[in-house]
Structure 1
Amino acid sequence: MRTRIDLTQQPLWQRVLVMVGLALVIQVPPLFLFAVRQAGSQGARWGWLAGYFGVFIAIIALALAVYQRTGFGLKRALSWRQARDWIFGGWLVLLCCQLALSYFNRLWYHQTETANNQAIAELMGHDPLVIVAMSIGAILLSPVAEEVIFRGILIDLFFSRFQLIGPILVSGLVFSAEHASTNPISFLIYFMLGGVLAYVYQRTGHLEYTIAIHALNNLLATGALVVPLLLH
């Protein structure tokens, strides 16, 4: 019987290499949507679209396989009401912080959207197929992939369950670096998002809570991007 490798016991350079690899592959799916827009035939468009979902699912499967080798555990036993409070409480904190930071982003840098959201809107354009695919990816697939990678794997590879400040700072910094920013406020928006999710994960041990919070956040953000596109 083969012994399962515990990645937390591997040398630091190997753990860093694992994170760098995952941080790179999570950037691949949007390239398929760009190819959908550039494809010359309907058949090619559907082929690239299938590739988009296939790659996303493969990334999630890979991330989960790595996550199972990080020695994760120590989940708090929480009731349904406590789980609800963590999920909706975390989401409300994110919402309030984003509203405040977005206000300063408009006031100081005259940006109504972050550079990351602008890039997403440009990628979707007015292509219904890309809009639907991007929406499904942002709401259902991206929260799973990003939470497994940037909360579960990142935190468990480099920190113990009893640490708090380090995971919040590192997870926030890495997560923000993965999203396009053109000014400090924009960077802080994603840093705050990553930090809050890291806090919830460290306090509860339940990755499914951070996935739910992330999905709720992306649901609102995607709606704010998609509705104006559909109205024009």
Structure 2
Amino acid sequence: MQKERKTMNSADKKGLLNAKTNHQKERHYFKSTSIYHTLFYLIVSFLLYQIVSIPLPFGQAIHGRSWAFMIFFILFIAITATVAIRFAFKSYQEVMTSSVRIAGRDVDFKQVFKVFAVSLIGIVLFSALSDLVVPTTENQIMLEQSINANTAVGFVLMVVIVSPILEELIFRGLFINLIFKDNLFWLPIIASAAVFALFHETANIPQYLIYFVMRMILGFAYMKTGRLLTSILLHMANNVYVTFGFFFSSSFIAIGIVVFLEIAVVGVVLWFAKIASQNGWFHFKRVSEKSNQLN
């Protein structure tokens, strides 16, 4: 009887161990964050982001220049974007307190600049090649149609400043760190790029792949440096030269000059930030104090 009981206990323990091992394998890629917690951060941040662009269609419908609308649009963007960015950033800070992705790592300004410059050149070259296959996308057409005398200034503020900050906070900062474990590299990059590309107006698979590849580069820039600063600067730089093409010449030489100036400006800004940080003029707060366990 005792032998039988021991055998059963041994079998039960083995079964529990196998179940635990299988459970760990199933959750190897994903964090155990509450689904409600994850959805709350992502959905609220995204909805606040969408509110920023609400007045855009009204500006398109107004015939002739309206200074009243222009001022209203700029103020509306400033207020709603501040609220949205603040919520997304606070959410990101809270999420990163339980993350070891960038724990204990000071900002490596040299690495940020290198990754930024190489990634931006990669995006520009890919854009040039993709233009041979897909000259324009549905998203570009929609953006071009939204620009007029009443919306131009607000449009530039949204595309060059607000969108890069919020999209990187939501799709790189929150999406990656809420869902995927900190020791992963390529899976979060691919997943965030796939989801992000869905939120752009794409009429076919080639158009989708263009946005997917570009967002892969943004994700790589973030994961390589562990800093949203890198992907935000890169996203801004990409949107600057795209917006430049909406208003001015979009020749390869003109775009090349714009990209060169962007790299130079970012280089100077990062150099100043490094000097300022070394001299104690300001410092970058570490989001988490845990030891860095990233493989």
TM-score when normalising by structure 1? 0.82
Of residues 125, 133, 139 in structure 1, which corresponds to 2:160? Answer: 139
In structure 2, the partner of 1:57 is 82
Tell me how far 1:30 sits from its aligned partner: 2.2
- The letter for the 2-side match of 1:65 is K
In structure 1, the partner of 2:139 is 116
Tell me how far 1:22 sits from its aligned partner: 2.6
In structure 1, the partner of 2:45 is 22
Alignment root-mean-square deviation, CA: 2.3
Task: Could you tell me which runs of 5 or more consecutive residues in structure 1 were left unpaired when the two chains were aligned.
Answer: 1-7, 106-111
Query: In the aligned structure 1, how far is the partner of 2:69 from the partner of 2:113?
Result: 43
Answer whether contact 1:148 1:207 (CA < 8 A) is retained: yes
Answer whether contact 1:131 1:226 (CA < 8 A) is retained: no
Of residues 168, 190, 203 in structure 2, which corresponds to 1:169? Answer: 190
Query: In the aligned structure 2, how far is the partner of 1:86 from the partner of 1:43?
Result: 42
Answer whether contact 2:59 2:151 (CA < 8 A) is retained: yes
Q: Residues 160-191 of structure 1: CA distance to partner in whole angstroms, max 9, x if unpaired?
A: 23212221121101111111111111111111
Alignment of 1:205-224 (within 5 A): 205-224=226-245
TM-score when normalising by structure 2? 0.66
Query: In the aligned structure 2, how far is the partner of 1:47 from the partner of 1:39?
Result: 13
Is 1:100 matched with 2:91?
no
Q: Residues 58-101 of structure 1: CA distance to partner in whole angstroms, max 9, x if unpaired?
A: 11111101111112554354543322101111111222222222
Of residues 111, 115, 119 in structure 2, which corresponds to 1:86? Answer: 115
Q: Residues 18-74 of structure 1: CA distance to partner in whole angstroms, max 9, x if unpaired?
A: 323333332332222222344586434522431122212211111101111112554
Query: In the aligned structure 2, how far is the partner of 1:68 from the partner of 1:9?
Result: 18
**Greater relative contact order (Cα 8 A, min sep 6): structure 1 or 2?**
2
- The letter for the 1-side match of 2:86 is A
Number of aligned residue pairs: give it: 214
193 and 18 in structure 1: CA distance in 2 versus 1, 3 angstrom threshold: same
In structure 2, the partner of 1:70 is 95
Query: In the aligned structure 1, how far is the partner of 2:133 from the partner of 2:86?
Result: 38
Q: Residues 189-222 of structure 1: CA distance to partner in whole angstroms, max 9, x if unpaired?
A: 1111221111221221111010110011000101
Task: Could you tell me which runs of 5 or more consecutive residues in structure 2 were left unpaired when the two chains were aligned.
Answer: 1-30, 250-295
95 and 73 in structure 1: CA distance in 2 versus 1, 3 angstrom threshold: farther
In structure 2, the partner of 1:5 is none
53 and 36 in structure 1: CA distance in 2 versus 1, 3 angstrom threshold: farther
Answer whether contact 1:63 1:145 (CA < 8 A) is retained: yes
Query: In the aligned structure 2, how far is the partner of 1:194 from the partner of 1:226?
Result: 24
In structure 1, the partner of 2:207 is 186
